Structure 1
Amino acid sequence: MYWTIHLEGGPRRVNHAAVAVGDHIYSFGGYCTGENYRRQRPIDVHVLNTVNYRWTAVPIIRPDDPQSCCVPYQRYGHTAVAYGDKIFIWGGRNDEAACNILFCFDTKTLRWSCPKVHGAIPGARDGHSACVIGHSMYIFGGFEEYIDRFSQDVHALDLEKMEWRYVITQGNPPSYRDFHSASAIGTRMYIFGGRGDIHGPYHSQEEVYSNEIVYLETLTSTWHCPRTTGYIPLGRRSHSAFVYKNRLYIFGGYNGICDKHFNDLYCFVPATNHWIQVKTQGKRPCKRRRQSCCVVGDRVFLFGGTSPYLGVQPVINEEISEEMLFEGFDSKLMDHNDLHVLDFAPSLRTLCLQVVIARHLDENWLPEDIWWDIRAMTTNNNISRPLNNTG
């Protein structure tokens, strides 16, 4: 398992939502220190080509375009799931309000739509989780806007019938929380981490961070909390969770009680309920939270997020979002525009290229296709605005 790529210059985004469709990763929204999140504007969409590691920005829909009414506003704390060639965006908020409208992005046409839904539509929220099991998108938890409390509810949207339903569950559900992760393995939805409160659904600033694994068996709508063994990670929120070969991986995140960011990697094996702390090769990403991770083939693509700023505080404008103030802007957090790639099964070709790059070997004698690969692996992107412009 090898960290093979580290490139700068991609979208500088925190608390965004991303999902892979084919060889491309689509990233939606998020925030960046200094931008104005009270004003509504169309959400930005960035696309990563995982073959050449190049980012592109999807053109923003003009206000006079008939499609403009179906474009979600710029937001953070939302979710994105893929179903076929379509990506469904739900929830999230800006600094004024949260949202519960369903949006659909067609990866073939790069066009937006607002599917007509019916049933028991969940209340607006952010910091929830979502995953697809079968033909349904399941969402769990989050912080509900209108009742001003954490959630521990499960809702499901049938993506064929476009019908919402409230899922009545059995067993002991995970505690009220937001900024956890939900991962689909077979018919199970695995919940890990997140931020809760000792007073249950209400936010009193007395936070709790669970490190239990809890899963919902969707066939029976029953919660299970298996007894786990091994190197169990410390409780955290705003981490990344991804599934590779039916194993659940957790990267990074933040624990507010000890005020600690992480860049560790853990693996949970559902077959044995065992945790493993994973040791990787190569230079791993710095400690961070609210990044995105997407699996394409045998590789994991990690990008964005925020972490403690280790240098001189960057210059920003006066329009600092409420989210960043709440998250501790005074603690000097730095938003990232970088891309890292973790390869679970690096080929001999990839490992040889790593040696050429690391040792600065003469490339002139290399075949053109290998030279092209080296350029792709070492050339930064350039779609971010400068840090003092916080793009």
Structure 2
Amino acid sequence: MKFLTLIVALFLWIHVEAIVPFGFWKTQGGGGGPLVPDTWEATTTTSGPLTRYGHTAVWTGSRMIVWGGYGGSYHNTGGLYDPTTDSWTATSIGTNVPAARVDHAAVWTGSKMIIWGGIDSTLTYPTGGGQYDPVGDSWTPTYTYPVPSARKFHTMVWTSSKMIVWGGLAGTYTNTGGVYDPSTDSWTPTSTGANVPDARGIHTAVWSGTRMIVWGGTDGTSNFNTGGRYDPATDTWATTSVGANLPAGRSLHTAVWVGTKMVVWGGWNGSAYVNTGGQYNPTSNTWTTTSTTGSVPEERGYHTAIWTGSLMIVWGGFDGADYLKTGGRYDPTANSWTLTNTSGSPSVRHSHSAVWSGTRMIIWGGTDDAFSFDTGGQYNPSTDSWTTTNTTGAPTERHNHTAVWDGAKMIVWGGWNILDNTHFNSGGQYDPTGNSWTATSPGGNVPSARKQHAAVWTGSKMIVWGGASSAGTLLNTGAQYDSTANSWTATAVNGGNVPAGRRWVAAVWTGSKMIVWGGHDSTLVNTGGQYDPSGNTWTATSTGANVPTGRYLHTAVWDGSNMIIWGGSTSGGIVNTGGKYDSTGNSWTATSTGTNVASARYSHSGVWTGSKMVIWGGNSGASTVVNTGAQYDSTGDTWATTSVGANVPTARTSHTAVWTGSKMIVWGGWNAVSTHYNTGAQYDPTGDTWTATSTGVNVPTARRFHTGIWTGSKVIIWGGYNGSSTYNTGGLYAP
């Protein structure tokens, strides 16, 4: 098995990266209908990368990027795979492309892929890496000094603003690492002090939202069942439990973060491949064994594992005798397994890659030790169905609240009950796996009660800001909420550049800062600010050339480098204008109002697909609502209309919309007169087609002013108002 021992670390971190921030779902390749649950569809090889294994793969939110690896020769080539169109686009091999390599690692930052480490054709460890921008199809080198020693068999995780490299083989196994900040192109070494794990490679690492957890691996002699929790904020380590239910030591295993726990499974224990594992809870520092009964997959290593938001799916690998094309879906709540369908699956292989698109697991590449592959498959585990959210322990009924997804839980906060004019500074964390609620802290630094505020998720904290109080006071206060510690830290209200108080403000997260813009502060404003949570500081947004007219009830999305605001209501009327805000240059560029621009509207929805902004629905004035929309290409500054054909939802406003990675799902809302909806649809922007969402068992009651978030595998609808009742109910929709 040539290179078999050289490539596993790559796939271990891929399993982690595939679930990080960007879970979404896919449609059938080539623009066909929905892929039937528990079935496979082959990925095209037309214009795809050359055969290989030992490569990396990341998910961008709309495409899979594979890069590097070995397939008879070492590669510094790759490809972007669009599962919606089942098509490939080659990655640049021009200026600054990294040297060809295998056994490297990669992470997705939200706008770029970073690759680092590995071994090249001369069996030398490259010291450098590269940042790949898929929008510009360009490479930027990573800084090379001071940098962790060159290595392979290491792991990498993305924290939401920084990349952490740890462990691996650099002549000898190491327990060193580094934290790389792509915004400053700089490295900081990780501690080798108290509680640092023993030197190792071929281990796993996951990011919990606040800490990197490493576990298992080998030093070439022993297979470890030890690990560590690394806190990059304090540069300190804490050991993982070696007590009850600890899995046996192993390497060549996989690990995924399931929201509150790390699940490790499979691997090589030094004498045999295993099909055992464990769930590790870092809060209690305890282990629970994974089931080995029922439909547990056979033992294996060199396999892949991804997290869907509710299930861990393992697939492929090697069991010591045979190469595999089998797998299993593991439910950590029920501690139960279901085998994956093998009909139509990719051929047997190991050392392949896997990413989760939000609705599909995409397998690609790998080897059976006779051949390396350029083939793969999309696997769909989901269904068109609803389940209800628990009301036990749920926050009080409300609307005009906010909701964010923290990677494991939905956090709702604030809002209003119009029936008795109650304003809230309370909320809850909803765990869809356990269907349970935990109240958010009402203690120190909790913001004052409010409605019509904004909220973003940073990767480790929720930031709420602005809004209106019960007395109508417009607020410029807020706080950062740590969902792990259940604690609040106030945002700055003193010093220069804090925006004036306002409601109906739009906000986006850039990867390092929150940008708020527009809204109502007794007038309609075109001001805003960039908030840096690490420094607790504000920087004003430009009001110079091309700044859009002051407005509210507009939308805002982040395209990876610009905030795009569009539509809304101004003092001069309802508009179909907007602007792209460059946060680095603090400058504005107007959005096109030319061919196919969407009609003027407010209280519409807007999502970013990874390449385009999709606007849909809204109120065009005088209680007239629309079911039209448009896709905006921010690079070309052009518009294309959305279909109003089969299955387009009824015209509406005050609905929700989420992006799954391949489709936009709209749901709920009202007709601005009296009719409320519990209907919706999935919009495929590539095929320009609509598919209705289920209105069957457990569909939530019709409503508006609710929230909707995407978990990586499901939409969660919660709260809202129907003209006579306010809700604390909701539903989970699995497309």
The match for 1:176 is 651
AA in 1 matched with 2:540:
V
Aligned-partner Cα distance in 2 for 1:221–1:265: 32
SS at match of 2:573: coil
The match for 1:241 is 708
AA in 1 matched with 2:703:
R
CA contact (8 A) 2:547 2:588 kept: yes
AA in 2 matched with 1:7:
P
CA contact (8 A) 1:216 1:224 kept: yes
Given the superposition, is the C-alpha separation of residues 233 and 26 from structure 1 closer, same or farther in structure 2, using an over 3 Å criterion? Answer: farther
Displacement after TM superposition at 1:103 (Å): 0.4
Residue 7 (structure 1) aligned with residue 494 (structure 2): no
Given the superposition, is the C-alpha separation of residues 136 and 123 from structure 1 closer, same or farther in structure 2, using an over 3 Å criterion? Answer: same
AA in 1 matched with 2:527:
D
Displacement after TM superposition at 1:115 (Å): 4.2
CA contact (8 A) 1:240 1:250 kept: yes
Given the superposition, is the C-alpha separation of residues 221 and 30 from structure 1 closer, same or farther in structure 2, using an over 3 Å criterion? Answer: same
Displacement after TM superposition at 1:109 (Å): 2.4
| Alignment equivalent of 2:590, drawn from 100, 114, 134 | 114
- Give a deviation string over 1:237-280, Cα, whole Å, max 9, x none: 23332223232233433322x1x444x36452424xxxxxxxxx
| Alignment equivalent of 1:36, drawn from 512, 516, 523 | 523
Higher helix share: 1
Given the superposition, is the C-alpha separation of residues 163 and 21 from structure 1 closer, same or farther in structure 2, using an over 3 Å criterion? Answer: same
Aligned-partner Cα distance in 2 for 1:189–1:238: 18
- Give a deviation string over 1:135-180, Cα, whole Å, max 9, x none: 22111111124x8721001211122211112223432211111111
The match for 2:80 is none
Aligned-partner Cα distance in 2 for 1:79–1:219: 22
AA in 1 matched with 2:446:
H
| Alignment equivalent of 1:84, drawn from 540, 547, 560 | 560
CA contact (8 A) 1:177 1:194 kept: yes
Structure 1: gaps of 5 or more residues:
62-66, 198-204, 272-391
CA contact (8 A) 1:98 1:126 kept: yes
AA in 2 matched with 1:90:
W
State the identity %. 24
- Give a deviation string over 1:267-303, Cα, whole Å, max 9, x none: 52424xxxxxxxxxxxxxxxxxxxxxxxxxxxxxxxx
Aligned-partner Cα distance in 1 for 2:540–2:581: 11
Residue 166 (structure 1) aligned with residue 641 (structure 2): yes
| Alignment equivalent of 2:540, drawn from 55, 58, 61 | 58
| Residues 340-355 of structure 1: pairs in structure 2 closer than 5 A | none
| Residues 110-189 of structure 1: pairs in structure 2 closer than 5 A | 110-116=586-592, 118-145=594-621, 149-189=624-664
AA in 1 matched with 2:538:
T
| Bigger Rg over Cα | 2
Displacement after TM superposition at 1:50 (Å): 4.4
Given the superposition, is the C-alpha separation of residues 92 and 45 from structure 1 closer, same or farther in structure 2, using an over 3 Å criterion? Answer: same
Given the superposition, is the C-alpha separation of residues 109 and 244 from structure 1 closer, same or farther in structure 2, using an over 3 Å criterion? Answer: farther
AA in 1 matched with 2:530:
V
AA in 1 matched with 2:652:
R
Residue 45 (structure 1) aligned with residue 528 (structure 2): yes
| Runs of 4+, deviation exceeding 4 Å | 228-231
- Give a deviation string over 1:81-127, Cα, whole Å, max 9, x none: 11111011100013430111120111212322214564212221111
Displacement after TM superposition at 1:74 (Å): 2.2
Larger CA deviation: 159-168 vs 186-195: 159-168
SS at match of 1:175: coil
AA in 2 matched with 1:21:
T
AA in 1 matched with 2:657:
A
Displacement after TM superposition at 1:56 (Å): 3.0
CA contact (8 A) 1:169 1:221 kept: no
AA in 2 matched with 1:56:
W
| Alignment equivalent of 1:71, drawn from 530, 547, 550 | 547
AA in 2 matched with 1:136:
K
CA contact (8 A) 2:660 2:712 kept: no
SS at match of 2:607: strand
Residue 253 (structure 1) aligned with residue 728 (structure 2): no
- Give a deviation string over 1:222-244, Cα, whole Å, max 9, x none: 22123255643332223332223
Displacement after TM superposition at 1:51 (Å): 4.7
The match for 1:379 is none
- Give a deviation string over 1:330-351, Cα, whole Å, max 9, x none: xxxxxxxxxxxxxxxxxxxxxx
CA contact (8 A) 1:249 1:265 kept: no
CA contact (8 A) 2:576 2:593 kept: no
Task: State how many pairs are aligned.
Answer: 246
Aligned-partner Cα distance in 1 for 2:729–2:508: 20
AA in 2 matched with 1:173:
V
Displacement after TM superposition at 1:129 (Å): 0.8
The match for 1:284 is none
Aligned-partner Cα distance in 2 for 1:152–1:12: 33
- Give a deviation string over 1:173-223, Cα, whole Å, max 9, x none: 1111111111111221101111215xxxxxxx3x11111232112232222
SS at match of 2:671: strand
Given the superposition, is the C-alpha separation of residues 168 and 245 from structure 1 closer, same or farther in structure 2, using an over 3 Å criterion? Answer: closer
Residue 190 (structure 1) aligned with residue 665 (structure 2): yes
CA contact (8 A) 2:719 2:730 kept: no
Aligned-partner Cα distance in 2 for 1:90–1:82: 12
SS at match of 1:119: coil
Given the superposition, is the C-alpha separation of residues 246 and 30 from structure 1 closer, same or farther in structure 2, using an over 3 Å criterion? Answer: farther
AA in 2 matched with 1:105:
Y
CA contact (8 A) 2:567 2:574 kept: yes
| Residues 257-268 of structure 1: pairs in structure 2 closer than 5 A | 258=724, 260-262=725-727, 264=728, 266-268=730-732
CA contact (8 A) 2:510 2:561 kept: yes
Question: C-alpha root-mean-square deviation of aligned residues, in Å?
Answer: 2.7
Aligned-partner Cα distance in 1 for 2:628–2:675: 18
CA contact (8 A) 2:643 2:688 kept: yes
The match for 1:334 is none
Given the superposition, is the C-alpha separation of residues 218 and 255 from structure 1 closer, same or farther in structure 2, using an over 3 Å criterion? Answer: same
Residue 24 (structure 1) aligned with residue 534 (structure 2): no
CA contact (8 A) 2:642 2:688 kept: yes
TM-score by length of 1: 0.56
TM-score by length of 2: 0.31
AA in 1 matched with 2:523:
N
Give the number of the structure with larger relative contact order, counting CA–CA contacts within 8 Å between residues 6 or more apart: 1
Aligned-partner Cα distance in 2 for 1:55–1:212: 42
CA contact (8 A) 2:627 2:644 kept: no
